[in-house]
Chain A
Amino acid sequence: DVKVTQSSRYLVKRTGEKVFLECVQDMDHENMFWYRQDPGLGLRLIYFSYDVKMKEKGDIPEGYSVSREKKERFSLILESASTNQTSMYLCASSLTGGRGEKLFFGSGTQLSVL
């Protein structure tokens, strides 16, 4: 089974801190995604990557950046955390991004910014 592992289940940070969320997948998938999940809003795409060092903005990239130096690892960076970035963050991966291909999700990181 594909495993997508997010480094922290819960994270508490202070406003203005730089925050790193890490995600690792073990199945040599080409595509990796970062979503945030908020009640009543579903999941919204922040950034995705289709290859090492390649990235594209999703629907809500403001205040975030990403890094993909190795194929298996995709990091989400909050340069200066703000309270409105308190949310559940979900990482996902897919093999090639082909038609109808399913995404494999990690268990999520609940980030609280105080």
Chain B
Amino acid sequence: AQSVTQLDSQVPVFEEAPVELRCNYSSSVSVYLFWYVQYPNQGLQLLLKYLSGSTLVKGINGFEAEFNKSQTSFHLRKPSVHISDTAEYFCVTGGTSYGKLTFGQGTILTVHP
């Protein structure tokens, strides 16, 4: 079975600081990994995804993630955050059967001025 674990439930950070949101995965089959973001009072939207190939994946709004097979990790990073990045971020795996996804517990990123 596939699963993901997000290591931090909340991450507070000051504006313009770098941020890393941590995610570990476990899977016995080929891994498809995603990060989704949920802004306040909105639905989720795709930030980026890893299917195969280059282990560094770039997404929208300046975010990127690195697939690390030896450490079974898929951490999300941004070099300089903005107030508007305040949201809940979900590490997600799956997509092999009818597009079903398995979500992590979520990390609430709060950017302070």
A18 at the interface (CB under 8 A from B): no
Instruction: Tell me if B100 is interfacial: C-beta within 8 Å of chain A.
Output: yes
A100 with B106: CB separation less than 8 A: no
- B residues near A98, Cβ cutoff 8 Å: 99
Classify chain A: how many residues form its interface, as a range. Answer: 20 to 34
In the complex, what residues of A have CB within 8 A of residue B56's CB?
A: none
User: Are the C-beta atoms of B95 and A50 separated by less than 8 Å?
Assistant: no
Q: Which residues of chain A in 23-68 are interfacial with respect to chain B, using CB atoms and an 8 Å cutoff? A: 31, 33, 35, 40-45, 48, 50, 56, 58
Min CB gap A25→B, angstroms: 12
In the assembled complex, the Cα of A58 lies from the Cα of B41 at a distance in Å of 25
Residues of A within 8 A of B104 (CB): 42
Cβ of B46 under 8 Å from chain A: yes
| CB proximity of A85 to chain B, nearest CB, Å | 19
Q: How far is the CA of A96 from the CA of B104 in the complex (A)?
A: 23
Question: Which chain A residues have a beta carbon within 8 Å of chain B's beta carbons?
Answer: 4, 31, 33, 35, 40-45, 48, 50, 56, 58, 90, 92, 94, 96-103, 105-108
Interface residues of B (CB under 8 A from A): 6, 9, 32, 34, 41-46, 49, 51, 90, 95-106
16 pairs across A/B with beta carbons < 8 Å? A4-B43, A31-B99, A42-B6, A42-B104, A42-B106, A43-B103, A96-B99, A97-B98, A97-B100, A99-B95, A99-B96, A100-B34, A100-B51, A100-B95, A102-B46, A107-B42
